Structure 1
Amino acid sequence: MNFKDPKFYLNRELSLLAFNRRVLQQALDPTIPLLERIRFIFICSNNLDEFFEVRVAGLRHDLARGNTKPSLNGASAEEVLKEINLRAHQLVDEQYRIFNDELLPKLADESIQFLPADEWSEAQCKWLKNYFKHQVMPVISPISLDLTHPFPRLVNKSLHFLLHLHGNDAFGRNLEYAVLHMPRSLPRIIELPESVGGSKQHNFVYLSSIVSEFAQDLFPGMDIHGCYQFRLTRDSHLLLEENSNEDLASALKRELQSRNFGAAVRLEVGKSCPEKIVSFLLQKCNLTPEELYRVDGPVNLNRLMLLPDLVDRPDLKFDGFTPKTPEVLHRRDIFEVLLEQDLLLHHPYESFQPVVEFVRQAAKDPNVLAIKQTLYRTGSQSSIVEALIEASQAGKEVTAVVELRARFDEADNIELAQKLQEAGVLVVYGVVGYKTHAKMTLVVRKNQKRNALQRFVHLGTGNYHAGNARLYTDYSLLTTNVDICEDVHKVFQQLTGMGKVYELNQLWHAPFTLHKNLLKAIERETSNAGNGKEARMIIKLNSLTDQSLIEALYKASNAGVEIQLIVRGICCLSPGINGLSDNIQVRSIIGRFLEHSRVYYFYDDGKEHLYAASADWMERNLYNRVETCFPILQKDLKRRMVNELEMMLSDVEQSWILQANGDYQLFCRGKPEKKVQQLLLDKLSY
């Protein structure tokens, strides 16, 4: 059998669109609180923005460069773009249908509503006109379009309006069009005060409705025939020449200035926008009718993300929870605990605070001599970063490997690197051509009793971002295992120095040993199955696209290995094909938290090897990034993590099962069983 046959693979971009459809379907789940359901609408919208900025833009680049290499499933870039246009339009239409027909009426039933202009009372109209005059007009600048004012370069993903005018302005110019740009500082939804709110508890008005109603005030003496909202999505790739002599931070700063003005890839307009206006915008933006999206509502749904936070209705939101801290850490120094045992944390069910305290205590502990840490995404207000600064100012040797190229966090990371450098931290940007995606911290501490140096390590599947640790599921391992600590030390040596590839004891790391060790582990299961032994794998990932690993999984399935894949997003493997992948099941768990942890389990004839990792099974992770894959060696922790994987495989409420044709079917909904994420909340949090 030809395991490389394109018919056995699913398309990456279409798989990503399918993921966003699963996210959108959460908005229809009646067991999810109403304000959380509407949040999934906004998450889907935000995901689609990035999809067009990155994936669609990348396919357009391929076409422009004449890149004829087909995707894994054999489709050309042109064919994929054509299918994307079809499916993305269907997805957007479904998104607005759910928003308008399902969720807005239910919100109104709960005294939360959006008022259209034709329903404003006289008092509301007066208040909103005053709001427009004093809050909107002072910060916007109308741009008339004539021979001296060509069509402006419009900012990526910003709300704009095209006004159709008639009449002469103060200079006698006969203008037909003008453009309004809405600054990001203006809120996209405005809540009416109680004094004019009416009978409902929360009455909101879209900024677009206010502008459309009062835009006349911006053009006194002229007639406005129409005011039409629109929004452009642009190519957000950064074109860096990493081998140039220019400093990486300087090069990134220069490229970031142009990110908001890349080539347009999508135009969104209101449903009622006339064809004449649409044609004008398409022509000015150099887009085709296929790249036009007519929407029945605000063109910038993702900017409504703050709605649930503006409404104080706990009954319409998920129940709150307090992440648990291991009892062994209560009133004990974390270094003393780690000298006795490893710690495994499952976020967000268990607190991220021990990881923060690990760095904080290292900063304050006079016996700590050095701290080394990788930083990919941290957030703007990071306690960990403050601890690194404190440690440096206390005279400790502090090294931070800051990845400047973390997509859409580049500006924050440049600022972070500068802040650390000013505090005396040794900042390294990693290796040219390889993003540093590994999540690891190394603390070197003097053991006074033994008069020797002791290493302590944190390794994680997620970023050092306390906010994400409340929203993403990830694992953290804190250990003093000698082999693991030595391996982490060597990886830091690779990142900050030069030299040949180190042989590591326990860690698998990209771009050197991770891929070949994964192949070996899969081939071992394949061999065991061929010899009549029990063979099994459980692999939890965000994305699976690497052809060589998929091919190895097909061969393993063909040999009789039981393979359970938990793949949240992109999956190019096609399960359930007779004689090829009939021993493979792929499920995607979508729920309250974003499934982000990567875990690899290999049965190996009862020896059971378990790893957690920063890496997905994608080409970029395996060949173009610095990644770490670390074993869970302590028996009780290994058994616990395997049990949690089994819980995920037993879930029937949040699991979507991948079909051979690329479609996903919800396993079941409405059964009395609790969702797996709720079970883990009940088990691991307060």
Structure 2
Amino acid sequence: MSMPHDNLLNRELGLLEFNRRVMAQAEEEYLPILERLKYLCIVSSNMDEFYEVRVAWLKDAAQNTPERILADGSTPAEALAKVSAAAHELVREQYRLLREEIFPALRADNIIFLRRNEWDAAQKAWISDYFFRELMPILTPIGLDPSHPFPRLLNKSLNFIVELEGADAFGRESGIAIVQAPRILPRVIKLPAELAADGADTFVFLSSILHSHVQELFPGMLVKGCYQFRVTRDSDLSVDDDDVKNLRTALQGELRQRQYGDAVRLEIADTCPAHMEEFLLHTFALQKHDVFRVDGPVNLVRLMQVPDFVDRPETKFAPFQASLPDILEKKTPLFDAIRKGDILLHHPFQTFQPVIDLLTQAASDPAVVAIKMTVYRTGTDSVLMESLIAAARAGKQVTVVVELMARFDEEANISWATRLEDAGAHVVYGVFGYKIHAKMLLVVRREEGQLRRYVHLGTGNYHPRTARLYTDFGLMTCNEEIATDVNDLFVQITGLGRAGELKHLYQSPFTLHNMITTAIDREIEHAQAGKPAQIIAKMNALLEPQVIRALYRASQAGVKITLIVRGVCALRPGVEGLSENISVRSIVGRFLEHTRVFYFYNDKAENLFISSADWMGRNFFRRIETCVPILDTKLKRRVIREGLKVYLEDNTNAWEMQQDGSYRRRVARGKGRCAQDMLLQEYTG
């Protein structure tokens, strides 16, 4: 039985709605100004990936399967038209906000971005010296003619199209040249303090420097115009299942081509004349709706580096010191502390350090005989990976399941896989066709003549930097049954054989989806029997149609359902006769909400789980995921309060989803309550 299309919302439009909520943070005048700038940069970063992956997919579908009907009932071409209109509206508002609010507010705080017409004589002299010293030697202008075809431009690189008049030394009169800005150079340059007025932090754009000196690149010719542009390309990777013998080798070949995929978006300066725009569109085989004319830098992501150059605490969020669990504050040795009882970590309010300590201590502990770990995203510089390498070199049995297909982290993961193998670790790439998204760490230690297993299971990646920026839960335990489940999962991933029955854990692609739908059906039964029935779930995305269908049935049966979905949600809440008992809210704040928590009242049993999985088709059926119950009563109460209830009380950063997929900001009545601030206050003082 298929679901009526008008009961599902479009995924891509939902992602754009999320970006609107992020951009709304940049509008908040009470936030520190450099944090507002960061939110604007995050929107640009999100839009880059949106075009590289989702729009690229839509374009491919529109071309190759035009009759396909998407989940919301639209064809790919229809969806693409709606997405393009919404994206252009969002970007227009983004640049208006930058010009009319962010830049003036920065200037009011003595953080100044100088335009070319504002440079004084001393500044012009310094900038000219910078051009000839740092830029000129590494620029390669390319005049277009039969011997110099249009250059192969990297994905998202900054480029300039230059209109020329006259003939060069060889008599060539092409009229057009391309100048590529070297990626190694910063896109914003801070002027020396002596050139800044009144102690201001003063910046100029690399594009402004090149614009002002572009004539130097074409001596004897007249530069009629110079316009920045940037092309975004399809960056999703695919490896042919039937033609791959070594995944790492195959992926390395794909990565070399990623930067040169098909063009999907063109960003150009709003001053670029129509004939130059048409030339670029023809060159990249794009249509008019693929063009974004912007009044400002074509790549706002690069402004993310500006806060690093400004030493003004009042322009940024106040720093905080993440706390330790009480038992670790008492300096109890880590393995001893875990034996005394399960430890719950709530990042970033509580530090990620115990996870790092678990691995670093295991690497040097002579009692530890084996370590097993999954790696999805961990960064290019990771103390965790270094500890695994040290453990392998120390002769311990180290097994690392590295997900090579973690989008945009493929190169880093290939590098770590190579280093781990060189150190003597067993490195496997999971199960071909299924991404390893589970977050599992298993340490085997010999104690009093017997082996004891210690486990960490989390909702977030083993990435110390993002653990300070994302909200996540992690559970440290030596519960033997959970440890056995985790070990069985590692054996299942690295070896061959059928999936066995687990005691406590649920996993994708085998049991997690069925557990969720069964738990929903159980609440329906309770409601039909006249008992209280309730579901509260927090996740990053909700798209899977069977789960949405089950939630609709539960609503119709009278189950109270509260969903906290950070990003895209295909479910329509509050529709009479369909979902009037379902409410959906989204929290966008200082930290990226990343926890996955599932609560089912179950006739007072209150079943509670934390998971690595969102409620999406890929998480249920095309990834290896874990979902672990919180068994300890005290920890269960903590997760319910910290992971769910405080977010339902939030009236500052909360957005309530409407039936049509739009969102309305929750307006505080009386005292404002911000979930993240409350947790910061509780754990960091």
1:668-679 mapped onto 2 (5 Å cutoff) = 668=667, 672-679=671-678
Q: Aligned with 2:420: secondary structure?
A: helix
1:412-423 mapped onto 2 (5 Å cutoff) = 412-423=412-423
Q: Name which of 484, 487, 507 aligns with 2:482.
A: 484
The answer (yes or no) to whether the contact 1:112–1:200 under 8 Å persists in 2 is: no
Superimposed CA distance per residue, residues 198-251 of structure 1 (whole angstroms, 9 cap, x where no aligned partner) = 345111111111111101111111110000000000000112113424311111
Tell me the residue number matched to 2:121. Answer: 122
Tell me the residue number matched to 1:275. Answer: 274
Q: Name which of 634, 637, 654 aligns with 2:632.
A: 634
Q: 1:208 and 2:211 equivalent?
A: no
| Distance in 1 of aligned mates of 2:192 and 2:475 | 49
| Distance in 2 of aligned mates of 1:464 and 1:116 | 42
| Distance in 1 of aligned mates of 2:38 and 2:16 | 18
Tell me the residue number matched to 1:351. Answer: 351
Structure 1 counterpart of 2:222, one-letter code: D
Residue 3 (structure 1) shift: 7.7
Tell me the residue number matched to 2:365. Answer: 365
The answer (yes or no) to whether the contact 1:242–1:248 under 8 Å persists in 2 is: no
Superimposed CA distance per residue, residues 620-651 of structure 1 (whole angstroms, 9 cap, x where no aligned partner) = 11000000000100000001111121111011
Q: Aligned with 1:157: secondary structure?
A: coil
Tell me the residue number matched to 1:150. Answer: 149
The answer (yes or no) to whether the contact 2:649–2:673 under 8 Å persists in 1 is: no
The answer (yes or no) to whether the contact 2:193–2:199 under 8 Å persists in 1 is: no
| Distance in 1 of aligned mates of 2:191 and 2:340 | 58
Residue 171 (structure 1) shift: 1.8
Q: Aligned with 1:184: secondary structure?
A: coil
Q: CA distance change for structure 1 residues 113 and 671 in 2, over 3 Å: closer, same or farther?
A: farther
Residue 672 (structure 1) shift: 3.5
The answer (yes or no) to whether the contact 1:3–1:554 under 8 Å persists in 2 is: no
Superimposed CA distance per residue, residues 288-309 of structure 1 (whole angstroms, 9 cap, x where no aligned partner) = 1111100010001111111111
Tell me the residue number matched to 2:657. Answer: 658
Q: CA distance change for structure 1 residues 276 and 245 in 2, over 3 Å: closer, same or farther?
A: closer
Tell me the residue number matched to 1:246. Answer: 245
Q: Name which of 551, 554, 576 aligns with 1:553.
A: 551
The answer (yes or no) to whether the contact 2:430–2:494 under 8 Å persists in 1 is: yes
Tell me the residue number matched to 1:326. Answer: 325
Tell me the residue number matched to 2:450. Answer: 452
| Distance in 1 of aligned mates of 2:31 and 2:104 | 16
Residue 654 (structure 1) shift: 0.6
The answer (yes or no) to whether the contact 1:243–1:432 under 8 Å persists in 2 is: no
| Distance in 2 of aligned mates of 1:313 and 1:70 | 52
The runs of at least 4 aligned residues of structure 1 exceeding 4 Å deviation read none
Is the deviation greater in 108-117 or in 670-679?
670-679
Residue 64 (structure 1) shift: 2.1
Structure 1 counterpart of 2:603, one-letter code: D
1:92-103 mapped onto 2 (5 Å cutoff) = 92-103=91-102
Residue 674 (structure 1) shift: 3.4
Residue 167 (structure 1) shift: 1.5
The answer (yes or no) to whether the contact 2:66–2:75 under 8 Å persists in 1 is: no
Residue 671 (structure 1) shift: 5.4
The answer (yes or no) to whether the contact 2:244–2:250 under 8 Å persists in 1 is: no
1:21-170 mapped onto 2 (5 Å cutoff) = 21-170=20-169
The answer (yes or no) to whether the contact 1:400–1:426 under 8 Å persists in 2 is: yes
| Distance in 1 of aligned mates of 2:439 and 2:44 | 29
Tell me the residue number matched to 1:536. Answer: 534
The answer (yes or no) to whether the contact 2:66–2:77 under 8 Å persists in 1 is: no
1:189-338 mapped onto 2 (5 Å cutoff) = 189-199=188-198, 201-330=200-329, 331-338=331-338
Q: Aligned with 2:401: secondary structure?
A: strand
Superimposed CA distance per residue, residues 151-204 of structure 1 (whole angstroms, 9 cap, x where no aligned partner) = 112111010000001122222212301101112111001111122223451111
Tell me the residue number matched to 2:573. Answer: 575
| Distance in 2 of aligned mates of 1:24 and 1:70 | 31
Q: Aligned with 1:399: secondary structure?
A: strand
Tell me the residue number matched to 1:388. Answer: 388
The answer (yes or no) to whether the contact 1:27–1:41 under 8 Å persists in 2 is: yes
| Distance in 2 of aligned mates of 1:619 and 1:365 | 41
Identity of aligned residues (%): 49
Tell me the residue number matched to 1:512. Answer: 510
Aligned residues: 683
The answer (yes or no) to whether the contact 1:169–1:175 under 8 Å persists in 2 is: no
Tell me the residue number matched to 1:18. Answer: 17
Structure 1 counterpart of 2:408, one-letter code: F
| Distance in 1 of aligned mates of 2:559 and 2:152 | 56
| Distance in 2 of aligned mates of 1:523 and 1:434 | 28
The answer (yes or no) to whether the contact 1:364–1:391 under 8 Å persists in 2 is: yes
Residue 414 (structure 1) shift: 0.4
| Distance in 2 of aligned mates of 1:455 and 1:242 | 36
Structure 1 counterpart of 2:563, one-letter code: L
Is the deviation greater in 61-70 or in 26-35?
61-70
Q: Aligned with 2:463: secondary structure?
A: coil
Residue 669 (structure 1) shift: 5.3
Gaps of 5+ in 2: none
The answer (yes or no) to whether the contact 2:506–2:628 under 8 Å persists in 1 is: yes
Gaps of 5+ in 1: none
Q: Aligned with 2:338: secondary structure?
A: helix
| Distance in 2 of aligned mates of 1:3 and 1:538 | 25
Is the deviation greater in 608-617 or in 237-246?
237-246
| Distance in 1 of aligned mates of 2:513 and 2:185 | 48
Residue 670 (structure 1) shift: 8.5
